[in-house]
Each structure stands twice: as C-alpha cells, then as structure tokens.
Amino acid sequence: MSETGKILTANRLNDGLVVFLSAANIWTRHINDAALAQEANAQSALAKRGEDFEAANIVTGAYLVGAERDDGEILPDHIRERIRAAGPSVHPGLLVENPHVSLR
C-alpha cells in the first residue's frame, strides 16, 4: 500500500550534498529515511522546520517535494527530484547512498 505526501529536502551548507529531513529531525542522505508528511498541517510544520534549519545555517534552500512511499521506498514525483536523490543517471555508482531510486 502506498502513501503520498511531502518530504523536506535541502542542500547541506558546508558541503552542498543533498539531504532529507527524517522523522527524528535529523538530516539524512537517504531519501527512504525522510519523514513523509501527509496532512497539510504536518507539511507546513515540516516546511517550518526547514526554515529553522536554514536560519541556523545547517542547510540551504530547503523545500518540500511531492513523493510517494511504497513498501518503505520513497519515490519523488518529479524527475528532477529523483535525480537529486539518486545521483546523475549517467554515472551509475557515483552515489551509493540510494542505488535503488528509480529514474523512470
């Protein structure tokens, strides 16, 4: 059974790498560990947490991404976000964090 909602992503300020905010309020490189907010209230709370982390200079450019979770795997709606999560589609193996994120 799949769930749809929004996840929060950003780039880490110090190294620029793509991160996702987990339910434990920790930034993770693994999209499948991201907190998926399904309700509107939860989504705006998530966005607010992103603003706080930006203000604290931990991450930059935080924003919500539409995504679907199926069997523990999170797949963003948009091709751009899938590439952000998985790494360049032309360099398989460069990013080992999320080898199974589908680009289709």
Partner 1 sequence: MYRYDEFDARFVAERVSQFRSQTERRLSGELSEDEFKPLRLMNGLYLQLHAYMLRVAIPYGTLSSQQMRALADISEKYDRGYGHFTTRQNMQFNWIALEDTPAILEDLAKVEMHAIQTSGNCIRNVTADHWAGAAADELADPRPVAELIRQWSSLHPEFSFLPRKFKIAVTGAPNDRAAVKFHDIGLRLHLNEHGQRGWEVIAGGGQGRTPMVGVTVRDWLPEAELLGYLEAIIRVYNLFGRRDNKYKARIKILVHETGAEKFRDLVEEEYARKPGSGIEVDARELERIEAYFGGPNFEVLAMVQPEFEQDKLRGREFARWVRANVSAHQMPGYAIANISVKPVGGIPGDATAAQMRTIADIAERFGNDEIRVSHHQNLVLPHVRQSDLHEIWQVLQANGLGTANLGLIGDIISCPGLDYCALATARSIPVSQALSRRFSNPDRQAEIGPLRLNISGCINACGHHHVGHIGILGLEKKGVEFYQITLGGSSATDSAVGGVLGPGFSAEEVPDAIETIVDTYIALRMDKETFLQAYRRVGAGPFKEALYAAA
Site string for partner 1, 18-57 (x = CB under 8 A): x-----------------------------------x-xx
Q: Is 12 or 42 the residue whose CB approaches partner 1 more closely?
A: 12
The reply on whether position 102 binds partner 1 by CB under 8 A is no
Q: Which of 48, 79, 87 is nearest to 64 (CA)?
A: 48
Separation between Cα atoms, residue 3 and residue 74, nearest integer Å? 9
Q: Which DSSP letter does residue 31 get?
A: G
Q: What is the DSSP string of 32-66?
A: GGB--B-SHHHHHHHHHHHHHHHHTTSEEEEEEEE
Q: Please, are residues 58 and 50 in contact by the beta-carbon 8 Å criterion? A: no
List binders of partner 1 among 57-96 (CB under 8 A).
Answer: 57, 60-61, 77-80, 83-84, 87-91, 94-95
Cβ closest to partner 1, residue 35 vs residue 62: 62
Q: Which residues contact partner 1 by CB under 8 A?
A: 11, 13-18, 54, 56-57, 60-61, 77-80, 83-84, 87-91, 94-95
